[in-house]
Structure 1
Amino acid sequence: REKNKYFENQKKEAQKLLEEAGYSDYKNSNQVNLKLRLYKEQNCKCAYSGVTIDLHKLIKDPLAYEIDHILPRSVTQDNSLNNKVLVLKEVNQAKGNRTPFAYFQSGDVKPQYPINNYNLYKESVLGNVNYKKNAKKRGNLLFEEDITKFDMLKQFTNRNLVDTSYAARSLMSTLKNYFSSNNINTSVLTIRGKQTDLFRNRAKSLWYQEHRNKDESLNPFNKDRDIYYHHAVDALIIAGLSNQKTLNYLWNMKKDDENIFVYNKKTGEISAIDPTEDSKLIKFLKDIGNLSSDDFRYSWKIDTKINRKFSDRTIYSTRVIDNETYVINKHSNIYEMKSDYLKEWLTNPEKYEKLFIYHHDRKSFNKIVQAYEQYKHETYPLRKYMEEHGKIKKGPKGPEITSLRYRWKRQGMHIDISNKYNSKNKVILLEISSYRTDIYRNKNGLYKFVTIRYADFFKDSQGYYIDKELYKSKLQDKKIDKNYEFMFSLHRNEILSLKEKDKEKRYYRFTATNNDEKNVCEVKSIDRKDEKRQVFITIGQKTLLIEKFAVSPAGRISKIEKETLQLVR
């Protein structure tokens, strides 16, 4: 409550600053509002340099000052006000993705700044009365640990879990206010993951008692994160807590290495859980335990958004190896590769056999391995080698070795830009994904498809569309003539079934076209994580039947007989 009051006062003071500066009618953005709050909190000075901030420039020029994450957001995932300060643009660029402590230790601080070393910076933080009211922000500003260390990363992960709990409570408060304002008689509460885990373990034990002759792996209360229905089981467990007696059980549950028990908060008396005391709870758990995998429904968000970037903009070369075209990638700086990563690439045959240097310059490859072995106890083995011996060279007078090229993956969807380069190998941009795949069938039951890519779309006053002449050329390229009939379009996460010759019908979640020329699409399982990173289906002579299904948000499924072609004009 005190913290909310503090932040509310900050907002009011920001508005007051606008009025005092003669901008009472100025329609400021949320970003300006945030900058004003930080401006006031920092006593009108840049947090790192101590340079006075020009209020009028702050309000009128959005590029004059920047908001910096004190501790890099990429590490902490912390986007809260407690991790933000207002700074000069040039100071923010100099600090980069570092902590304030690392920035001041780097030697990149300009000597003409009022604050030009860590001691002066620390004095300014400790001397700011506004930070005395906010221990978390003060702690972020004076954080002196190395954020790249594993232990630190683990601590930030734990901190984020606490923040998630806070977010859940905030959402609960919002929902309570909504139900109260609309006179809806509904109770809202938050349940911690630890509590549902305790309840799940109790339910698991009850299932074993009821099904002693069954394989333990069939227990629906086992939490396998690769099988998606565990989310539904968690939801059912939470739903079951609406029973007040069950809720009391849960609140008083504790767990040691072997047992789950109930204790009396007032007396501290411990007793074993007696499930017979709550018949509704037992019936509820048994009902969940009797569910089969077929009782669970799955609903995936279908992606039909058009205005996405259509490639990753990185230029790749390719190589044909054993009649397959592969995309070539590289480790751009071997001296910045960590020990564990180097070990994987230099000692694992599945990895180092993908390296070009291993096949074409074995002596240089062995030099890199020897350098790694010499300094593998270091965080960055090859960096340490470079500091003491210089960069590794191809022979005594050969060029320095900085990067390692390797065979990355089979060429999938791409944009061919070879005509812009003088190269004997194909040069490509990788497409992020196709937008949709249009399925056609002829009178003989033969299936073909057309791939629609994000780059195929045009936009006018009516919105996005595909030029009908372009679409016609795509049909011609795939030899889809008037004997073929359009059946339906498949977007990412739509459900389809596939029946192939001599195989059972299978259900999939559609991903995208993988190789248009070879009629290969990528799919995923509906209810679980696939063992392979990519699963492919080929649509061709062996395809007997393809069906598409509509799925409601609640997971109810119905077959789509036929669709009308969309967005082509």
Structure 2
Amino acid sequence: MSKVAKNMTRVNLGFDIGIASVGWSVLDNQTGKILETGVSIFPSGSASRNEERRSFRQSRRLIRRKKARICDMDHFLAKHGFPFPGNTGANPYEIRVKGLTEKLSREEVAIALHHLVKRRGISYDLKDVEDESAGGTNYQESIAVNQRLLKKETPAEIQLARLTECGKVRGQVKSLGEDNTPTTLLNVFPNAAYQEEMVKLLKKQQEFYGEIDDSFMETAIGILSRKREYFIGPGSEKSRTDYGIYRTDGTTLKNLFEILVGKDKIFPDQYRAAGNSYTAQLYNLLNDLNNLEVDATEDGKLTTAHKKQIIEALTTTTGNVNMLKLIAKVAGTSPAGIKKYRVDREGKPEFHSLMIYRRLRKKLGENGIEINEWPPDFFDDYGPIVTLNTESGELRKWLAEEGSRNYNFLTEPVVEAILANKSAFDSVGKNKWHRFSLKTMQLLIPELLHTSKEQMTILAEMGLLHENKKDYGDQNKVDVKYLTENLYNPVVRKSVKQAMDIFNALFEKYANIDYVVIEMPRDDAEDEQEQKKQFQKFQLKNEKEKDASLKEFQELAGVSDLQLEAQLRKRKKLRQKIRMWYQQRGKCPYSGKTIAAVDLFHQDNQFEIDHIIPLSVSFDDGQNNKVLCYSEMNQEKGKQTPYAFMSRGGGQGFSALQAYVKSNNRLENAKKRNLLFTEDINDLEVRKRFIARNLVDTRYASRIVLNELQQFVRSKELDTRVTVIRGKLTSKLRDRWRLNKSRETHHHHAVDAAVIAVSPMLKMWEKNAEIIPLKVDENTVDLKSGEIITDQEYAAQMYELPYARFLEQMPELHKKIKFHHQVDKKMNRKVSDATLYSTRKAKVGTDKKEQEYVIGKIKDIYQFDQYKKFKKLYDADKSKFLMQRLDPQTFAKLEKIMEEYPAKIDAIQPNGTIKLVDISPFELYRREHGPVTKYAKKNNGPAIKSLKFYDSKVGSSIKITPENAKGKEVILQSLKPWRTDVYYNHEKQQYEIMGIKYADLRFKGDNYGITKARYQEIKEEEGVSEESEFLFSLYRGDRIQVSNGEDKIDLLFVSRTLPKQKGYVELKPIDRNQLNGKEVVSVYGAASGGRLKKQFVKKNHTLHKVNTDILGNPFYIKKEGNQPKNILDL
């Protein structure tokens, strides 16, 4: 088949990459016509979902290993004549305690050791236990109780006492203290305590059984204590897996986390250094110092002596350090004489300052420990350990073993002090790992110290810079897998993959691509739901400020609602001016004069909105670069920054401006940074930094994409120019061109992409500046910068439409937008919710025969919220409680307590007042008599805490009942749908469907699928005739078209739904996430609650499956194959 001829039109490609969508547009850059445009929609990547999967995978591994230990212990015991009798009903705690002082039978020895291995405690010492439940003081108090008791008793003795007194051992055990106050006890004991108990028990039994010798004890304790090191991961030499150190390619790593740390690009065999290592901190400091310009030295650079003096000062001081003042003092100049330093988001100077080292020195110094006496190698060695581990037990192990072997200063008090202050080693933000290895930095540090060269120059001179660029000369597609390997955020990685697939399709179609312009999602992008929350939060904050500004202005101006509304309609900019007036607390920041509300209302032409930093420098037309000022101040300031204007004697003076800005908490930090900006805007490097901040996107992920696409077009020897721009430019262009943005549908992604595609054609780039960078590094961008022009000239050049008739096509653009939706065919997904439900058969309420019910539980009758739930169910139908049916005498005790004890009591508040508060009657009873107990003749029944009840009828579920269960079932609910197969019954002339769930799938050999037998069962359950013809399969995200002869509509397939109603499915619109309430849909009728759950295809209707390519081009098919796929022939 011959290839389709390429389109020879000269075009621009625009990409609006979001977290769950990619909008794209192709623009004819000669005429401004949008040739084609579309949107790709897909589920966003999610770090939280990855974490959830890892958590479940870890749980499964732990359970497997626990079973293996128990099995090994049982085999070992049986081999030596101590057979484990199974579940005999014997109390293992009583047997373990008895075995410490008395002879046990052979079966009892087996029960005791089996139970010890089954419940073997935590792997670290109690003093290293950290509160993971946010319980705070109560948690630590409970651990302290256990520590105290372990000095005299074994875990078994403690546990048996709690079982006897409280009726419970595991979880949180509620008990009454000596002063009758509630106390929480936890079943948390170290494995070492269980080992001591086993030794004690076996030594006693050694007196009665000759088989229990030292070798027996050593093996038994080995099984009890064995634990895989955290850095090994799953797998073994014989069973290799890429989730552990034993890789499937035959290599064996020393540490699993080596993969996560990453390699140094200078020395690819070396791992990146920890950010808290001394070498990394020193390197960062010297690199910052070498980038500075100092007016007190001949060459404008700090000398070696200066740098040594600064290091000395930092390593010997214990107080806070102002780096700018320190450097100025050492260099013999003022802070104003220091230039070219980094600034933070608030515009303040930012330096590396050995912060972690200084923080640790201060903390340990409080214990009389001087870390300046320690070798730097210790921090380099311990840095990765403390970065990778959060558990004190693992840190203690390294310090006590490997650390002590290499560093003799690690005495027990020093180790305890290090562990107590482990938070001092924490790195800030994303700086846990340095981009260089220790080897690279140790090569660079001497050069940084003794010269004024920056790192890249030194690396180049050493011959260590080697470009690792892919040659695309013989490839016609960007290597998407190669590109995304270096994108670590799963949300961004997934979005970029989709965008590059679209780019490859467009590159194959268009021969003359002049510009590729991309807008990227944030590096720290969360999933779609999190993004919506952040957007709603931002909107709410804005609305609150708008309302507050109007309210305060109206009060001070003394005008009525009608007067204010009339003036706002008359003067369009007045609303914006009022908001700025509110933010500025009624002051002109340039003159320092008050702007009276009444003057702004009646004579707002006296006041103008000024760009703090000229637009042609900052490229920032946002609110944080605007202030309200007196007109004459705006004219005087002109094309200057406030600092430059006031340094020449203008306005209120810069020191007054600083005081005003710092005292005004209504100003955003970004606006404060702009107002207090002191650098020279005529400096080329300063101009480039503004471009990097507000125009060209220099973030990590953006650099990866930009550099790879540039490499691709260079390898192909094309003139295509590539850039990645900030979203604020697109937003401003839309606003100026009055392209209203509605987020209710997906169309806005394509419109944004069209604006992005047209952005390289703006007049601004013809004369003054360039948005196509030659090179982009971490904080710098290499491109040309134009002259500083007035805001009016900027607006004319930046916002004027490059094509006179560009906007005329917008009203019809929605009809041209093509949609591509990702189809989810993956088989290995979550089968159901993870919650286990117990079921019973019973007649409840109006049931005429027994039905299967899920069993619910009142977890704690002593807590008021749980009592409230109990009371609600009791009042509705007390026969729902199993106790009422199976143990009426105990249930009668509960009813009597409810009659005798109130649900409210008077309680003294912290301020001394008395207030009526809610309380469970059962809690009041417990305070007087102890826990409520089951009915017994001698009143010694077990304690009651929870109650079971018949909750809801069982729906679609999987039974996972253990073989030894009697009279009950255990199920998983909320089974997830996977696929729906569509058949056509020629005899009845109608479509038939059958739904397959993930729970129906099996993994046999190397394949996932559904067995032929199970497929036939579902087919019969769904009423699909054996004579019906298979047409196609539908997955979530598949597109379908339904026609009734008069109308037809394309919709997205969600799943087979309402399993008790044959032929029902859920459908969604193509151009948005859901329908509006009861919106009427062609062919199907009205939705319900925004969801369309209907009979799929009625008689005399026609159904097509619609496949789309990555560009959204539809292909309508009536039949996909003769047989369904993924059927396992077993």
TM-score normalised by the chain length of structure 1:
0.56
Q: 1:488-525: per-residue Cα shift (whole Å, max 9, x none)?
A: 11011001134579x95443211222233323322222
Task: Give 2:759's aligned residue.
Answer: 241
**Of the candidates 518, 522, 525, which is equivalent to residue 1061 of structure 2?**
518
1:37 to 255, 265, 272: 272
Post-superposition offset of 1:172: 1.5
Give the match for residue 832 of structure 2: 311
Provide, for residues 289-314 of structure 1, a one-character-per-residue CA deviation record: whole Å limited to 9, x for no partner: 23253222110011111222322321
C-alpha spacing 1:322/1:182, structure 2 compared with 1 (3 Å): farther
Q: Structure 1, residues 269-297: CA drift from partner, whole Å, max 9, x if none?
A: 4358459995643322322x232532221
User: Do residues 184 (structure 1) and 741 (structure 2) align?
Assistant: no
In structure 1, what residue type is equivalent to 2:387?
Answer: V
Structure 1: distance between partners of 2:1004 and 2:1031: 27
- Take 1:535 and 1:197, find their aligned partners in 2: how far apart are those partners? 34
Would you say the 8 A contact 1:497–1:506 is kept in 2?
yes
Deviations 1:136-165 (A, max 9, x none): xxxxxxxxxxxxxxxxx9899999x99994
Match for residue 452 of structure 1 among 980, 984, 996: 996
Where 1:299 maps in the other structure, the secondary structure is strand
Q: What corresponds to 2:1016 in structure 1?
A: 472
| Paired AA for residue 441 in structure 1 | Y
Q: Looking at both structures, which has the greater relative contact order when contacts are Cα pairs under 8 Å and sequence separation is at least 6?
A: 2
Give the AA of the match of 1:190.
Answer: V
Contact 2:1067 2:1093 (8 Å CA) reproduced? yes
CA contact (8 A) 2:1009 2:1126 kept: yes
2:1026 corresponds to which letter in structure 1?
A: K
Contact 1:438 1:449 in 2 (8 A): yes
Aligned pairs for 1:104-253 (under 5 A) are: 113-118=416-421, 122=424, 165-204=699-738, 221-245=739-763
1:270 alignment counterpart: 792
Letter in 1 for 2:759: L
- Quick one: distance in 1 between partners of 2:806 and 2:765? 13
Secondary structure in structure 1 of the residue aligned to 2:1093: strand
The one-letter amino acid paired with 1:438 is D
Q: Counterpart of 1:295 in structure 2: which amino acid?
A: K
> What's the offset of the Cα at 1:26?
7.8
The CA distance in 2 between the partners of 1:410 and 1:247, in whole Å, is: 68
- Tell me if the contact between 1:356 and 1:406 (Cα under 8 Å) persists in the aligned partners: no
Task: Write out per-residue CA displacement over residues 510-567 of structure 1, whole angstroms, 9 at most, x where no aligned residue.
Answer: 1222233323322222111214464322347668333211112111112111122212
1:396 counterpart residue number? 924
The Cα shift of 1:44 comes to 11
Shift of 1:86: 2.9
Decide whether aligned partners of structure 1 residues 40 and 462 sit closer, same or farther in structure 2, where only a CA change above 3 A counts. Answer: closer
Equivalent position amino acid for 2:704 in 1:
S
Query: Is the aligned partner of 1:483 residue 2:1027?
Result: yes
Q: Give the secondary structure class of the aligned counterpart of 1:236.
A: helix
| Aligned residue among 282, 288, 294 for 2:804 | 282
Larger relative strand fraction: 1
Is the 8 Å Cα contact of residues 763 and 802 (structure 2) preserved in structure 1? no
Offset, 1:237: 0.8
Unaligned runs of 5+ in 2: 1-249, 263-270, 281-355, 365-370, 397-412, 436-532, 539-668, 671-692, 771-785, 877-894, 910-914, 933-943, 1077-1088
The alignment of Structure 1 onto Structure 2 pairs a total of residues equal to 421
Distance apart, 1:475 and its partner CA: 1.8
Q: Which residue in 2 is equivalent to 1:295?
A: 816
SS at match of 1:474: helix
- For the aligned residue pairs, the C-alpha RMSD in angstroms reads 6.0
Distance between the aligned counterparts of 1:279 and 1:529, measured in 2? 32
Preserved CA contact (<8 Å) 1:412 1:515 = no
The amino acid that maps onto 1:236 is: A
Judge conservation of contact 1:493–1:511 (CA < 8 Å) in 2.
yes
Name the CA distance, whole Å, in 2 between partners of 1:329 and 1:413.
17
- After TM superposition, list the pairs within 5 Å mapping 1:23-62 onto structure 2: 28=253, 31-32=257-258, 34=261, 36-38=271-273, 42=277
Q: Residue 551 of structure 1 aligns to which amino acid in structure 2?
A: T
Task: Call closer, same or farther: CA 1:402–1:203 in 2, change over 3 Å.
Answer: farther
Deviation at 1:455? 3.0
Please give the TM-score of this superposition, normalised by the length of structure 2: 0.31
Q: CA deviation at 1:177?
A: 2.5
Cα distance in structure 2, aligned partners of 1:192 and 1:435 = 39
Q: CA offsets per residue over residues 430-461 of structure 1, 9 Å max, x none?
A: 35622210011212223221222223333445
Partner AA of 1:451 in structure 2: G
Residue in 1 that maps onto 2:31 = none
Q: State percent identity of aligned pairs.
A: 24
Q: Answer whether contact 2:984 2:991 (CA < 8 A) is retained.
A: yes
Residue in 2 aligned with 1:558? 1115
Mapped contact 2:276–2:426 kept (Cα < 8 A):
no
Give me the whole-angstrom Cα distance separating, in 2, the residues matched to 1:181 and 1:333. 69
In 2 relative to 1, CA 561–330 (structure 1 residues): closer, same or farther, beyond 3 Å?
Answer: farther
The structure-2 alpha-carbon separation of the partners of 1:112 and 1:404, relative to structure 1 and needing over 3 Å to count, comes to farther
Structure 1: gaps of 5 or more residues: 1-24, 60-64, 69-83, 95-109, 135-152, 205-220, 253-263, 337-341, 343-351, 376-384
State yes or no: 1:434 paired with 2:977. yes
Is 2:958–2:999's contact at 8 Å kept on the other side of the alignment?
no
Hey, what does 2:1040 align to over in structure 1? 496
One-letter amino acid matched to 1:32: E
CA contact (8 A) 1:199 1:250 kept: no
SS in 2 for 1:297: strand
Q: Deviations over 1:86-125 (max 9, x none)?
A: 337555799xxxxxxxxxxxxxxx995341434x854x67
Equivalents in 1 of 2:787, 2:1112: separation in Å?
A: 42
Which amino acid is 1:177 matched to? Q
Using a 3 Å threshold, how does the CA distance of structure 1 residues 393 and 471 change in structure 2: closer, same or farther?
A: same
Aligned equivalents of 2:724, 2:950: Cα separation in 1: 49
What is the CA-CA distance between 1:196 and the residue it aligns to?
Answer: 0.7
- Structure 1 residues 246 and 281, CA gap change in structure 2 (3 angstroms): farther
Q: In structure 1, what is the Cα distance between the partners aligned to 2:920 and 2:1028?
A: 61
